Structure 1
């Protein structure tokens, strides 16, 4: 049985120099009384590195791939939900957009799509392990830890990727609600459709058509999270033809119906989505203007 827990989530700004790597940085603290455990799920998202003060965070993907527990959990780009189990934990995380993955990790994103891996064991993430050790030592100090994260990533030598400009252009285009077809996306990225297909598999983890559908779905989920008083029909992205189309996407990306999601116990995902919506919508970013609701 999932225990009750207290959750504090904070999404934080980072130095402008790190914007090419990160969509966001967050600190989540989960307090589970009496040594209990809580279970919840993660929604589809970009790749994420999570650094935990204790190695109690584990998870399972829809395919059944299990991660028993780790101090450094890496989730690849996801088009499916992933289930998480944890006790009390203090967790720093970085949400890495595709250009960040290309410049920091350099491995094909498709190889880690919809997967959870132990960053302390997978050789692809060896260069990040010193940060996992640093963040789990000493007295908790959010300001100081954010400074350490900033200094660590600013000190990394980026991997040379000749397609970096195209990856960045494709990422911005995918986030644009006006871009609704693979042809539009290829045009905005300045490449042929065939080149775009290869690039998206390598840097984004999925084919471009799936990426556009996933982003449309995530915009709807974010609208719902930002205003829980809405009904699903009121939160739908304009790109949806009707509610039935949205329900089909919901089943594909979340493994459940909207009704099942609404009635499901979500010990910490609700708090995380609410804070993320606040960060994306209410706060004015360091580059001016208002952040997009979906990173």
Structure 2
């Protein structure tokens, strides 16, 4: 397996966290579980392998062009065959710049992007399959995203507002009072919650919990601190609070996770 990350151009830097490629020459089947990252993704499958994701306790084959909605709970997946994939990872809010639908409708599912964006994204997929190298493929992605960004420019003001709110919440994670957050941005609590959900698929509380969970994953991966220290550094009340939240997002305890950090989960994290 080979994972690579690529930064977007200056134009798309505010909207795309990174691009990534995933190549696997092995046809070995494996199971994995994807955890909430707080970000949406688009994945183009360019190889012969297949993926399946769990939908209502049944595994369903994912489409050639995948739109990953917000994952808010553990999502089991299965892999078969050799893979060649190219992905776009957005920021928490920034997928909303490129879609006409409210983001919340995509939660906890993998959708066929061609059913949402139509012939334009089908053509892009064909071009990616025909492209001779990775640089050409990335250039095609950038061209497509810039065109979508221009076409949806009327959405920019609202989504920019969401970005400001989320950035302030990340800068001040100890401020969890929705009324105070809303007041500081000159809006009502009700409008703040509606605005964030429509453009991220998350409530302010869920955003805070996933952001805190992601911080804990990074600290666990370093393996430099005991769980109690990680819990307090990430803003949990105590270790039991940390473990309870961690299990809700992964299905396992932190100690079980540390011995089983999989390549796919490393890829899917911000």
Q: Specify the TM-score bucket, using the shorter chain as the normaliser.
A: 0.7 to 0.9
Dislocated runs of 4+, deviation >4 Å: none
* C-alpha deviation, 1:231, in angstroms: 4.0
Contact 2:6 2:18 in 1 (8 A): yes
Q: Which residue of 1 aligns with 2:111?
A: 117
Q: Which residue of 1 aligns with 2:247?
A: 251
After TM superposition, the score normalised by the length of structure 1 is 0.79
Deviations 1:226-279 (A, max 9, x none): x14544334333311211111111111112222332344735334x37xx6xxx
Classify 1:184/1:239 alpha carbon distance in 2 versus 1 (closer, same or farther; 3 Å). farther
Of 139, 146, 169, 1:154 maps to 146
Q: Which residue of 1 aligns with 2:228?
A: 233
* C-alpha deviation, 1:214, in angstroms: 1.3
* C-alpha deviation, 1:8, in angstroms: 1.4
Q: Which residue of 1 aligns with 2:173?
A: 178
* C-alpha deviation, 1:66, in angstroms: 4.2
Contact 2:42 2:67 in 1 (8 A): yes
Contact 1:173 1:188 in 2 (8 A): no
* C-alpha deviation, 1:179, in angstroms: 4.8
Deviations 1:3-28 (A, max 9, x none): xxxx2111111112112321221112
Q: What is the Cα-based RMSD across aligned positions, in Å?
A: 2.5
Contact 1:51 1:72 in 2 (8 A): yes
Of 220, 232, 235, 2:216 maps to 220
- Residue segments in structure 2 that go unaligned for 5+ positions in a row: none
Q: Which residue of 2 aligns with 1:284?
A: none
Classify 1:238/1:101 alpha carbon distance in 2 versus 1 (closer, same or farther; 3 Å). closer
SS in 1 for 2:62: strand
**Residue 20 in 1 paired to residue 14 in 2?**
yes
- Residue segments in structure 1 that go unaligned for 5+ positions in a row: 1-6, 277-294
SS in 2 for 1:143: helix
SS in 2 for 1:18: coil
Contact 2:131 2:137 in 1 (8 A): no
Of 78, 91, 105, 1:85 maps to 78
Q: Could you say which structure has the higher helix fraction?
A: 2
Q: Distance in 1 between matches of 2:180 and 2:7?
A: 31
